Amino acid sequence: MDGQSEWVNQVLEQYLRCTINYHQDNWAELLPFAEFVYNNSTHSSIQIALFLANYEFHPRFDIQGPVPASVPSAETMVARLQNIQERLVIELGAAQERYKKYADRCQQEVPLYKFGDKVWLLKQHIRTERPSEKLDYRKLEPFEIAEQISQIAFRLTLPSSFKIHNTFHVSLLEPYTANTFSGRVAEPPPPVTIDEESEYEVKEILMQSWFGISYFTWWTGKVMMQMNVCGSLGKT
């Protein structure tokens, strides 16, 4: 595989990484849309889209039936597909900026971190429970800097569930910027590891059934709420 094909694969992986679900089992459904957005986006090398260069026009992404009709399921599907395309277009620009930043990294000065600063930890050589390494998160948390070991090494405050050394080279750290967009969902915190099993902290008990037999709980780090039988919560 030549360098150009490898670069295209990396861009497509970036698209999928930003839109794929947690279990990574819907990548085949998203791949055609990632390819469409890539071919219909302006490329810096030729200053036009690949589709326009080949066919002299931009493809349309309108999905309209020949007979006007209101089909809620179809309208939901169309809205979902258009949302995926818009999101991929945004991620294309972000991916291009990211690759430019990596190319210019050798010319940049080392960031000035200090005690208490929050930084992203790049997930190089760190394995998670997700099935695909290529489509997994590229960076973790952020974490607070606990100590500066040297000009190029920092110790981070890691949760007890992370069974790794807590000192990292500065090249594995990226500055963290607080969320400035209202309504954007933040990444969930990692599960707490107890007796080699991942358990989540109970954030709130929302309701209780009659006689206290079961509880409707909301777990920290989980979007879904869950009904639990009394006794199944253990030591959470």
Write the CB contacts of 34 (distance below 8 Å, at least 6 apart in sequence): 12, 15, 16, 19, 88
Q: Which pLDDT score is estimated for 157? A: 92
Residue 8 phi, psi dihedral angles, 5° rounding: -60, -45
Q: How far, in Å, CA of 222 to CA of 200, rounded?
A: 8
Query: Rounded to 10 degrees, what is the CA torsion of 195, 198, 199, 200?
Result: 150
107 conformational bin, left if phi > 0, alpha if psi -120 to 50, beta if neither: alpha
Confidence of residue 55 (pLDDT cuts 50, 70, 90): confident
pLDDT reading at 78 higher than 50: yes
Q: Is residue 121 within 8 Å of 164, Cβ to Cβ?
A: no
Q: Which pLDDT score is estimated for 186? A: 59
Q: Is the pTM of this model over 0.85?
A: no
pLDDT reading at 121 higher than 50: yes
Q: Which pLDDT score is estimated for 144? A: 93
